[in-house]
C-alpha cells in the first residue's frame, strides 16, 4: 500500500498486559504467540481507540473497569498512554483513572510530521482532564485534527466469530445499511446486494472465490424481504437444485469465509483492517486461500491479523511475522531477524519453526 497515512508505529504504555512497548508495523502483520501472550489485547487496543473517538470512553471504561484496563491495575500503573505514528499525521492520548473506576482523558494531541520537518509539530493539547475525547469536535475546525479523525475512523476491527443461531449475520438487515461492511458482518446481505447492483465485477470475484472453498455453492440470492422491502437477509443456492437456503444452512467455517471474502475483495478497503484469529473453523484449503486474500489486500491497504494456525503462518514471509510473548508478566512484541532465519528456512517452513519454538511464541 502507499505509505501516506500508513500506521508505521504504535507506542503503548500501561494498557492491559502491555507495560511499555513500541510496535513497528508493515503492510502485512501477522501476530503469533501462545494463549494469553497479549495478541488479543493488541487487537482490542484498536477497538478501544474506536470507542474513544466515538465518545464512548466513559461507558466503555465503566463497563470494563479502569482497574482491568490498566497494566496490573491502579496500584502498579497510573495511566494509559497511546501514541500513533501514521505520517504525516500523529495522534497521542493519555488516560487516567477516576474515582469511579472509569477513565478520563488527561491529555490529547494531534500532530503533523512532514518530510521537510526535522521534528513533529504537536501544537496545543486538544483535550485536558475531559470525560471524553475532543477529537471529533476539534476536527470540524482544525485541519490537522480533521485528517487524524478521518484516518482513525477508517480503521476497522472485524470479528466474525459469532455464527450462532442469533448472530446478526443470519438476521434481516436494513437495506439502508450499505455504506461499508459492519465489524460483525450483520449487514452482509445488504452489502452484497449493493455490490451486485453497483460493482458487479467485485461481486463476481467474491462469488468465484467462495466457490473455491464451497464447491457446491452457486450464488447468493439477494432479494428484499417481500413483507418489508426495506430489509434483506442472506440467502443462497447450490448447484444441485433451485432451492433457496438461508445462512442458517451454512457451516460456521463457510459463513466466516464468506464474510472475509466480502471484506477483502471489496473495491474500497478500510485504511487498516484488523482480524483476530481469522482461521477459526476453516478447512486447510480455505486457510491457504484466505492467506492469499490477506496478502493481496495488503497491497491495497494495511492488514493486522493474530493467529494460532501453523498452516496460516506457513503462507507468509518472515518479515510479516510479529512474535508476541510474555516476559516477567508483560507482553512484548518482536520482529523476526530474517537474516538469521535464512539457513533454517532452506529446510523448514515458518510454521515448523514456530512449532519447534525456534522463533519463539510458544510456552
Establish if 324 belongs to a structural domain: yes
Establish if 252 belongs to a structural domain: no
Establish if 297 belongs to a structural domain: no
Write the pLDDT tens digit of every residue in 21-56.
999 999 999 999 999 999 999 999 999 999 999 999
Establish if 48 belongs to a structural domain: yes
| Residue 347: exposure state from Cβ atoms within 10 A (0-12, 13-18, ≥19) | exposed
Question: pTM of the prediction?
Answer: 0.95
- The overall average pLDDT reported for the chain is 95
Establish if 191 belongs to a structural domain: no
Among the listed ranges 3-7, 138-142, 299-303, 339-343, which one has the minimum average pLDDT value? Answer: 3-7
Establish if 37 belongs to a structural domain: yes
For residue 1, name the pLDDT band (cuts at 50, 70, 90): low
- Stretch 174-185: mean pLDDT, rounded? 96
Q: What total of structural domains would you count in the chain?
A: 1
- Stretch 335-360: mean pLDDT, rounded? 91
Give me the pLDDT at residue 117, please: 86
For residue 107, name the pLDDT band (cuts at 50, 70, 90): very high
Residue 144 has pLDDT above 90, yes or no: yes
- The enclosing domain of 348 has a CATH number of 3.40.50
Residue 141 has pLDDT above 80, yes or no: yes
Give me the pLDDT at residue 123, please: 86
Give me the pLDDT at residue 268, please: 95
For residue 263, name the pLDDT band (cuts at 50, 70, 90): very high
Q: By residue range, what is the domain housing residue 80?
A: 1-158+317-362
Give me the pLDDT at residue 2, please: 62
Establish if 69 belongs to a structural domain: yes
Establish if 229 belongs to a structural domain: no
Amino acid at each position: 500500500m502507499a505509505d501516506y497515512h500508513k500506521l508505521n508505529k504504535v507506542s503503548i504504555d500501561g494498557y492491559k498486559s502491555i507495560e511499555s512497548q513500541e510496535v513497528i508495523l508493515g503492510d502485512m502483520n501477522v501476530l503469533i504467540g501462545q494463549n494469553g501472550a497479549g495478541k488479543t489485547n493488541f487487537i482490542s487496543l484498536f477497538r478501544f481507540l474506536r470507542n474513544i473517538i466515538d465518545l464512548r470512553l466513559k461507558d466503555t471504561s465503566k463497563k470494563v473497569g479502569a482497574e482491568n484496563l490498566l497494566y496490573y491495575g491502579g496500584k502498579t500503573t497510573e495511566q494509559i498512554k497511546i501514541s500513533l505514528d501514521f505520517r504525516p499525521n500523529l495522534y497521542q492520548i493519555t488516560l487516567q483513572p477516576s474515582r469511579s473506576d472509569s477513565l478520563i482523558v488527561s491529555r490529547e494531541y494531534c500532530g503533523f510530521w512532514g518530510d521537510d520537518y526535522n521534528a513533529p509539530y504537536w501544537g496545543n493539547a486538544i483535550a485536558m482532564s475531559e470525560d471524553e475525547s475532543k477529537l471529533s469536535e476539534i476536527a470540524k475546525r482544525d485541519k490537522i485534527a480533521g485528517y487524524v479523525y478521518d484516518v482513525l475512523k477508517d480503521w476497522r476491527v472485524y470479528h466474525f466469530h459469532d455464527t450462532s443461531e442469533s448472530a446478526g449475520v443470519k438476521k434481516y438487515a436494513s437495506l439502508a445499511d450499505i455504506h461499508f461492511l459492519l465489524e460483525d458482518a450483520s449487514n452482509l446481505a445488504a452489502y452484497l446486494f449493493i455490490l451486485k447492483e453497483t460493482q458487479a465485477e467485485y461481486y463476481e470475484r467474491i462469488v468465484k472465490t467462495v466457490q473455491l472453498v464451497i464447491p457446491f455453492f452457486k450464488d447468493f440470492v439477494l432479494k428484499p424481504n417481500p413483507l418489508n422491502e426495506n430489509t434483506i437477509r442472506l440467502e443462497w443456492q447450490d448447484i444441485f437444485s433451485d432451492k433457496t437456503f438461508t445462512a442458517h444452512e451454512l457451516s460456521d467455517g463457510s459463513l466466516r469465509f464468506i464474510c472475509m471474502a466480502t471484506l477483502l475483495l471489496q473495491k474500497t478497503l478500510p485504511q487498516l483492517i484488523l482480524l483476530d484469529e481469522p482461521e477459526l473453523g476453516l478447512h486447510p484449503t480455505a486457510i491457504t486461500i484466505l492467506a492469499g486474500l490477506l496478502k493481496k489486500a495488503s497491497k491495497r491497504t494495511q492488514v493486522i491479523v493474530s493467529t494460532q494456525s501453523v498452516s496460516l503462518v506457513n503462507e507468509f514471509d518472515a518479515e510479516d511475522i510479529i512474535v508476541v510473548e510474555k516476559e516477567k508478566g508483560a507482553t512484548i512484541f518482536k520482529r523476526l531477524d530474517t537474516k538469521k532465519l535464512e539457513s533454517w528456512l532452506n529446510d523448514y517452513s515458518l510454521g515448523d519453526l514456530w512449532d519447534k519454538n525456534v522463533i519463539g511464541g510458544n510456552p
